[in-house]
Structure 1
Amino acid sequence: MSAPIRTGSSPFDAGPAPAAPAVRALTGKLGPVAIVFMVVAAASPLTVVGGAAPLGILLGNGVGFPALYVASGVILLLFSVGLAAMTRVVPRPGAFFTFVGHGLGRRAGLGAAYLALLTYTTVQVAVYGYLGYILSVTFAQLGVAELPWWLWALAVAALVGVLGYRHIDLSSKVLGVLLVGEIGIVLAVVAGVVLTGGDQGLSLEPFEPANVFSGSPAIGLTFAIAAFIGFEATAVFRDEARDPARTIPRATYAAVIGITIFYTLASWGLVMAWGPDHAVDVAAADPGAMILTTTAKYLGTAGEVIVNVLLITSMFACVLSFHNVITRYQHTMANAGLLPGAVGAVHARHLSPHWSSLVQSATTVLLVLVFALAGLDPVLEVFTWFAGVATLAIAILMAVTSLAVIVWFRRTRQDARVWNTVVAPALGLVGLAGAAVAIVANFPLLVGDVDAAGNQQFGATSAVLLALIVLCPAAGWVQAVVLRRRSPETYARITEAIG
């Protein structure tokens, strides 16, 4: 937040907010590179290359899967055009929450806020499950006393909580170092493939139409879209950016383009490493180990060990980045009067949303303990189920945001650029809506809701998880309705978020 709420011509201005006893303004000097590091770290590049890409090859459209990263990148770049235009004229840090509220009304905005919290909370806890499992297995193999996954997850949550409590600059530096390591090892593997000519020579077969549309491209697109989760959170760091009007759009475009190029190149390298004739078979043998076996083949045992280590740091970077995103969403909502006021306070020395960080840490601990007591498998259930929820929720959020951008600019006429405010957002909306439909159609497969024969079915698991995606925004909508009746001043401030 750069200034207190002020009165003016905006339909959301409602006079000055009540005086706050604590500092509530986030500040910082983050440049485009620092913000890109944080949001790309949330996308967890090495985890995607090592986990999602092999599954996309196996369950999606086979060797044509790399082309779907290009398709996803185009869709999300179109979405980013409208997002960047909205960022310039609505200088608020709430991202989805604020933009949907301005375009489609406060009730829709508050619904989007709760859906965003669900998205980032579920993807974070999903990674905690996977990370806890990997740490448990890794240290057991090293001869360290074997501990359950949830204890490792709680230990990581404690470290993330410490970093999240402090100034954002510290997190950005940690994430930057980890991200460079991830990208470096993947590029080294791709370089090894290119220099040796791969298994069957280098080719562009993954981009041939016959391969792109083979198998199940809808399932492949689902995995590809999921790999981008986190890039859109650039706007959340607005108040901590050096020059928000320039930094946020640049960081958004850089994140989308960078992620697209990286994932396309990396997945193409995986296919070339084993050849178009054998890549699917290697993925089928053990999708989770495909990146390890590929690294061992082209970089030797030392490379395999490095990838093992960086897979762990990749997931740590992911949960730290999402922790920062969630704390800022909560901070923004608290300053709009939608969460307890203390959550919106800022630490006097660290200049961080420290109470929001503590709330987020407590939420993580609670969820991990609940899953542990329920006996959920950290990979097959915690990771698979909640990653599926996050994937569908983010597609819906971005589609609704694209619609809000179009409506806002058509109503206010604040930007005369048709491409930026109508055409690009509309194309992005169509692509994202199509992706959401594809995800729903394949949701049972995403969350492992299959019968004994391996066929997907809309069973109890799918029903409960899909219900979360409906109930969370519905709860926000209901809260907005109640606030409109009982606290008109708070209702009027919903989309201001102390901007």
Structure 2
Amino acid sequence: MNTPITKKEESIKKSPERLEGQIGTAKLVFMVVAAAAPLTVIGGNVSIAILNGNGPGAPIGFLIAMLVMLFFSIGFATMTPYVKEPGAFYAYIRKSLGKRLGLSSAYIALVTYTSIQVGMYAFGGGSITNYFETNFGISLPWWIFSFILVAIVGFFGYRKVELSAKVLSIVLILEMSVVIILDLIIFASGGKEGITSDPISASNLFTGTISVAILFALTGFLGFESTAIYRDETRNPDRVIPRATYIAVFLIGLFYAITTWAFVVGWGPSLVVDKVAENPDGFLIATAAEYAGIIFADIVNLLLLISIFACVLSFHNIITRYQHALALEGDFPKKFSFVHERHRSPSFSSLVQTVTAVIILVPFSLTNIDPLVNIFGSMAGVATIGNMILLFLTSLSVLIFFRSNQDIISSRFKTNIAPITAMTLIFICMGLALANFQLITGLSVTISYILACIPALVFVTGFVMATYTPNRKIGE
């Protein structure tokens, strides 16, 4: 029988290769929500959800996405006390479905987060380039800023996780503060056509292309499961991880839905689509300037750039800890399990991830493709499919785990109904993602679907590797 880990067992498992920390619920929530990059999502995903989705009904897409993530989180949190190892999706899937599927899922996770991280580096480089050109007349190649961003993220990622937590907490508070202020100003003014509840009405389930709104809303939750990947660095993980997971889901979902509703009210349900169409990339800044003035809009613009940094730092930390967890289980070279003596961080894993990001960015920097549209779009596409596969497999793991351990007393809703519902909803969302995949990447149909196949190919590769190396550890 599997039982929750006790404090005594936790202390026994500590070793020179184990990460250490005292992250509490608040800091863990900040780190997770920072990965969701609120300003980046509002500046990008919200515009697309309104323009190409169901128009003024876009807030419903974010509420539906929150519902999907909530059903997933119920099973995920219920199984948390029985998963003693860090590694998030990988640890859950390995425990329930075995090493082969566990290793396959780990490789998908690495590709998923490396893809979105590289995409965000390109997005950040392009955004900073545009910022300097617009405000200072300085024109430099986007990749210069991307590599500077890689270096800064590498510096923080190499050090103790509490440093990242503090930085991300400050950035997130600033991000959310300016958006909340903007939302309040819009609602207080009454908007262009008055305050209306129509954008959050259930009637919008059947208007426009709701699938696109849901799809881009779901990408705003990428990385929220990282609550579990910080297990060894969390104080009382069996309590903190489930609590932080629920808070993060509600916070992300409601924040996006309310803000999207505010923006629709700001420009008016009948005019908002046309306003977004004028300049989708500048919709957030235009809204800030309209309701709070140019200076406030400049502050929002600067925080948008900082938001990108917070996002890639969060993804960097997630990737390094996935690699560290794989090394502890013998599925990655042992060097990746090295923990810095002073920083108590996966320092070698962090260095490797920094170098990996540089290697992937170099070929892109030698081309003339657009960093904001083509690079970010293609990388986000790969990450979207990979993340949905991981969500589905993790929900399946929860279901099988509790059915295989029926002596564990727990709510049937949490152990059966919730994961089955999550699997069903995630499967539907995956179908929507594939049906609209070209919209995500901004590339040709052929290239788009080649990219969509990458997570599946990685999954097969991991399964084959685990099949033919079942009894030995990598690196030994």
Shared fold per TM-score greater than 0.5: yes
For 2:36 and 2:49, the matched residues in 1 are separated by 16
Task: Tell me which residue corresponds to 2:424.
Answer: 430
**Which residue identity does 2:388 align to in structure 1?**
A
User: Retained in 1: the 8 A contact 2:97–2:397?
Assistant: yes
Task: Tell me which residue corresponds to 2:451.
Answer: 465
For 1:480 and 1:255, the matched residues in 2 are separated by 33
- Deviation larger for 83-92 or 208-217: 208-217
User: Retained in 2: the 8 A contact 1:50–1:288?
Assistant: yes
Task: Tell me which residue corresponds to 2:442.
Answer: 448
Match for residue 236 of structure 1 among 215, 229, 239: 229
User: Retained in 2: the 8 A contact 1:140–1:146?
Assistant: yes
User: Retained in 2: the 8 A contact 1:64–1:213?
Assistant: no
For 2:356 and 2:194, the matched residues in 1 are separated by 50
Match for residue 120 of structure 1 among 77, 93, 113: 113
For 1:189 and 1:345, the matched residues in 2 are separated by 45
For 2:225 and 2:131, the matched residues in 1 are separated by 33
For 2:156 and 2:204, the matched residues in 1 are separated by 44
C-alpha displacement at 1:360, in angstroms? 0.6
**Which residue identity does 1:431 align to in structure 2?**
L
**Which residue identity does 1:468 align to in structure 2?**
I
Match for residue 375 of structure 2 among 376, 379, 382: 382
Match for residue 71 of structure 1 among 59, 64, 73: 64
C-alpha displacement at 1:467, in angstroms? 2.4
* Cα distance change on mapping 1:80 and 1:386 into 2, 3 Å: same
User: Retained in 1: the 8 A contact 2:2–2:82?
Assistant: no
Identity %: 40
Structure 1 stretches lacking a partner, 5+ long: 1-7, 11-21, 451-457, 492-499
Task: Tell me which residue corresponds to 1:482.
Answer: 468
C-alpha displacement at 1:160, in angstroms? 0.5
Task: Tell me which residue corresponds to 2:247.
Answer: 254
**Which residue identity does 2:412 align to in structure 1?**
V
For 2:248 and 2:47, the matched residues in 1 are separated by 22
Q: How does 1:82-481 map to 2 (within 5 A)?
A: 82-143=75-136, 145-413=138-406, 414-450=408-444, 458-459=445-446, 461-481=447-467
- Deviation larger for 318-327 or 379-388: 379-388
> Could you report, residue by residue, the CA deviation over 1:379-398 in whole angstroms, capped at 9, with x for unpaired residues?
12111111111112111210
> Could you report, residue by residue, the CA deviation over 1:462-493 in whole angstroms, capped at 9, with x for unpaired residues?
13202211111111111101112xxx1549xx
C-alpha displacement at 1:292, in angstroms? 0.7
For 1:145 and 1:448, the matched residues in 2 are separated by 28
Task: Tell me which residue corresponds to 1:16.
Answer: none
Task: Please give the root-mean-square deviation of Cα atoms over the aligned residues, in Å.
Answer: 1.5
**Which residue identity does 2:467 align to in structure 1?**
V
For 2:395 and 2:234, the matched residues in 1 are separated by 23
For 1:147 and 1:287, the matched residues in 2 are separated by 23
Structure 2 stretches lacking a partner, 5+ long: 4-14
Q: If the length of structure 2 is used for normalisation, what is the TM-score? A: 0.94
C-alpha displacement at 1:145, in angstroms? 4.3
Task: Tell me which residue corresponds to 1:18.
Answer: none
1:303 match: secondary structure: helix
User: Retained in 1: the 8 A contact 2:381–2:452?
Assistant: no
C-alpha displacement at 1:9, in angstroms? 8.0
Matched pairs, number: 462
For 1:155 and 1:363, the matched residues in 2 are separated by 15
For 1:449 and 1:132, the matched residues in 2 are separated by 20
For 1:322 and 1:187, the matched residues in 2 are separated by 25
Task: Tell me which residue corresponds to 2:6.
Answer: none
For 1:286 and 1:9, the matched residues in 2 are separated by 54
> Could you report, residue by residue, the CA deviation over 1:10-38 in whole angstroms, capped at 9, with x for unpaired residues?
9xxxxxxxxxxx92110100001111111
For 1:9 and 1:306, the matched residues in 2 are separated by 51
User: Retained in 2: the 8 A contact 1:415–1:421?
Assistant: no
User: Retained in 1: the 8 A contact 2:392–2:423?
Assistant: yes
